[in-house]
Each structure stands twice: as structure tokens, then as C-alpha cells.
A = this chain, B = another copy of it.
Amino acid sequence: MPDSCFADRFGALTPLGPDERAALLRLEERERRVRRNGVLLSENDRLGEMFILKHGMMMSYVLLDDGSRQILRFLFPGDLLATAALAYAHSPETIMALTDSVVCPFDRGAMADLFTAHPRLALAIMAAEQMERVAMTDRLAAIGRTSAKARVSALLLELRNRLRTNDPGIGDSFVPGITQEEMGDATGLTAVHVNRMLRQLEQDGLIARNGGRFTMLDEAGLARTAHHVDRRAGLDLGWLPDPR
């Protein structure tokens, strides 16, 4: 059976029937490559298709009129991109590749077909959307109400966790794959201050760094500094109807 990031994503949440798996696979029939630093979609581009990220790491961001940038989310395989196409004619955000990536474009009509043929998958997609929303509220609270050190810690934890989801081999040690500038744009800080915070986290004995590689020396301590809440523990999709 051909692999599908998207089917795997949902398979981890709820058992999938063979028809369901096949329907998800059909969304990944086409492929498009995006090179590192390549832009898949710019703010205000006309929308019509959505994408499943198949390989690589991307990010979405908005630019403010003074040139500053707010990174909204980092994107990993299995993530759905450009879902704003469901409600808007033009993209509210830019989507750019952080590494060489592969995405699978599909028309929003395909989503309509999927919802019609497989209501249970529609519910699962809606549930995944809720997970995304809760992650966003966590980020909102972090940026609005926590210190620079907490925000940087939270970002490191989030990156490690998401990287690990796609590569279970990752333990305490990982390569974030983003610059300090990008960490700043994700956390609402300057690159200079991110640097100082990383340095402080090192001094506190929470992390170590070695040529781009980060190691969490005290994950519990880091989670405490970050005011981190582990949302995966509270997942519950048991209420979904049985697969057909």
C-alpha cells in the first residue's frame, strides 16, 4: 500500500476503514516540489486549492506594513495547508518552505467530495482542526502573557515534539532547522533577545547546544519554564462513530 502522510495522521487518531484510507490517498495523487526558501503561496494570492504537506518542513507567516514578520505556525508532514481556501478568495498568509519539501495539491471540490462520501473523515478533519486551534490559543497565551524565556522554551518544546511525531527516533536531541531570527518571528521577540534567552537556558542547565544541534538536559525544567501543557495526553476521539 502506498504511504500517505495524511492517512497516517488520521490513522493514529482513529481506526480507518479501507474505503476511508483510499479516499484520503486520492487527495495525494498529485505532487509539487518546493525548494528551500521557496514560496508555495503568497499573502493575497488567489486561493482555490489546498495542499497536504508530504515531505519537509514549512512555515506560514504574515508581514506587517512596517516590514516585521509574525510566523503563525510551523508545518510538518501530514499538515493541511491553505485551509483558508474554504472561506476566503485570497490567502491571508504566506506559506514558505524551510527545507526542500513536497506538497500534494488538491482542489477544494475534492474536500467537498470527501465530506460527502465520508462524513466520519469530515469529523476527524474537524477534530484535527480543533487540535490546531488549541495549539494556536496556547501560542496566543504564551505571546500575550509570558516572559521571553518562557516563549523560547515553549517553542523549543513544540518543535521537538512535532519533529518527533514524524521521526520517532528523535529523543532529547534535535536540530530545530530554523534560525534564531525565525524563532524571534515566531515568538514575537527579536533575534538578539532570542539569542540571550537561549544562552540563559544553557546557563540554567536546561539545554545544551552543539553546532545547530539542541539537547534538552532537563525536559521537566524546560516544560516548567515554558508553562507547557501537554495536549496530546488529553486527546479523545473515542466518540467518533465506528468506521464503516
Q: Is A78 an interface residue (CB 8 A)?
A: no
Please name all residues of chain B whose beta carbon is closer than 8 Å to the beta carbon of A90 when the two chains form the complex: 234
Give the contacting residue for A140; candidates B87, B123, B136; CB below 8 A: B136
Q: Is A77 an interface residue (CB 8 A)?
A: no
| CB–CB A84/B143 < 8 A | no
| CB–CB B235/A134 < 8 A | no
Please name all residues of chain B whose beta carbon is closer than 8 Å to the beta carbon of A47 when the two chains form the complex: 236
Q: Is A137 an interface residue (CB 8 A)?
A: yes
In chain B, what residue has the closest Cβ to A83? B130
Complex Cα–Cα for A122 and B145 (A): 35
In chain B, what residue has the closest Cβ to A72? B137
Q: Is A139 an interface residue (CB 8 A)?
A: yes
| 8 Å CB interface, A77-135 against B | 83-84, 86-90, 92-93, 108-109, 111-112, 115-116, 119-120, 122-123, 125-134
| CB–CB B84/A130 < 8 A | yes
Q: Is A205 an interface residue (CB 8 A)?
A: no
| CB–CB A143/B83 < 8 A | no
Q: Is A166 an interface residue (CB 8 A)?
A: no
Interface residues on A, range: 35 or more
Complex Cα–Cα for A112 and B241 (A): 8
| CB–CB B119/A84 < 8 A | no
Q: Is A62 an interface residue (CB 8 A)?
A: yes
Complex Cα–Cα for A127 and B128 (A): 14
Please name all residues of chain B whose beta carbon is closer than 8 Å to the beta carbon of A125 when the two chains form the complex: 126
Complex Cα–Cα for A201 and B121 (A): 48
Q: List 27 A-B contacts (CB under 8 A).
A: A62-B137, A70-B141, A83-B130, A86-B123, A86-B127, A86-B130, A87-B127, A87-B130, A87-B237, A88-B231, A89-B235, A89-B236, A90-B234, A92-B134, A92-B234, A93-B137, A108-B239, A112-B239, A112-B241, A115-B119, A115-B126, A116-B120, A119-B119, A122-B122, A126-B126, A126-B129, A132-B133
